[in-house]
């Protein structure tokens, strides 16, 4: 059986004198030695990095649990926005700096380089308050009781113990105490 005609390849010939690997690379790319750039990386290089518009550019690929653009390389997940911020604004000023969205649409998958800048966690939190996208109450992914249930807990007459109320809502007694004493969910 003939070997692949590509130098250094010892696989058996499949079609046009090439092994199946090199043949299908030739069909996809026009070059049997060139790997095809994955769609995600192609979109990143050709669309995201050169984007000049002012509107949000939504990431059409993977997202994190909170909706932010995410990708993986070598089985390791990373933040696409952080990568963009590094490429457009240089490395983060400190390890605590975050890639923050001036548009307030990071949770919707915005990857517009013009909407990203480095901010401290405190500055980023202030931005979320200003944009109305702060993660608290019903919006927080770890919440166990809704804002309406917090109102109910506060209105329950005081002859029930915190432990009894906690069992009723599936939370600990210290959480009930914090809700009742307005140390938790102060905005309600």
**pLDDT of 103-138, one tens digit each?**
999 999 999 999 999 999 999 989 988 887 776 677
Residue predicted with more confidence, 66 or 74: 66
User: In the chain, what percentage of residues exceed pLDDT 70?
Assistant: 95
CATH number at 39-134? 3.90.75
Q: Which pLDDT belongs to residue 109?
A: 95
Torsion angle, alpha carbons of 141, 144, 150, 153, to 10? -170
Whole-angstrom Cα Rg for the chain: 26
* Structural domain boundaries in the chain: 1-36, 39-134, 139-180
The Cα–Cα gap between 147 and 67 comes to: 22
Judge residue 46's burial from the number of C-beta atoms within 10 Å of its C-beta, 0-12 exposed, 13-18 middle, 19 or more buried.
Answer: exposed
**Over residues 52-59, mean pLDDT:** 95
Residue 102's nearest CA partner among 78, 82, 131, 81 is 131
Task: Round to whole Å and give the CA distance between 24 and 176.
Answer: 62
> Kind of pairing, strands 98-101 and 70-73?
unpaired
Torsion 155-161-163-168 (CA) sign: negative
Distance between CA atoms of 13 and 4, rounded to whole angstroms?
5
CA gap 147, 155 in Å, rounded: 13
Q: Is the pLDDT of residue 34 over 70?
A: yes
Q: Answer for the pair 107, 133: CB distance below 8 angstroms, yes or no.
A: yes
**What's residue 139's pLDDT?**
66
Q: DSSP H helical segments within the chain, as ranges?
A: 20-29, 39-43, 80-89, 121-131, 147-155, 162-169, 173-180
d(CA 92, CA 98): 8
């Amino acid at each position: 059986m003939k070997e692949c005609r590509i130098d250094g390849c010892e696989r058996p010939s499949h079609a046009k004198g090439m092994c199946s690997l090199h043949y299908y690379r030739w069909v996809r790319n026009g070059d049997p030695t060139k790997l095809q750039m994955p769609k995600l990386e192609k979109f990143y290089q050709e669309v995201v990095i050169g984007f000049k518009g002012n509107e949000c550019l939504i990431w059409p690929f993977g997202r994190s649990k909170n909706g932010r653009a995410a990708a993986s390389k070598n089985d390791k997940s990373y933040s696409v926005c952080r990568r963009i911020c590094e490429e457009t604004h240089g490395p983060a000023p400190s390890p605590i700096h975050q890639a923050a969205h001036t548009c307030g649409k990071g949770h919707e998958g915005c990857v517009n380089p013009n909407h990203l800048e480095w901010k401290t966690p405190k500055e980023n939190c202030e931005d979320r308050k200003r944009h109305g996208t702060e993660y608290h109450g019903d919006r927080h992914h770890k919440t166990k009781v809704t804002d309406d249930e917090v109102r109910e807990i506060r209105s329950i007459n005081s002859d029930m113990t915190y432990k009894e109320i906690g069992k009723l809502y599936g939370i600990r007694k210290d959480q009930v105490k914090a809700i009742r004493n307005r140390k938790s969910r102060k905005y309600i």
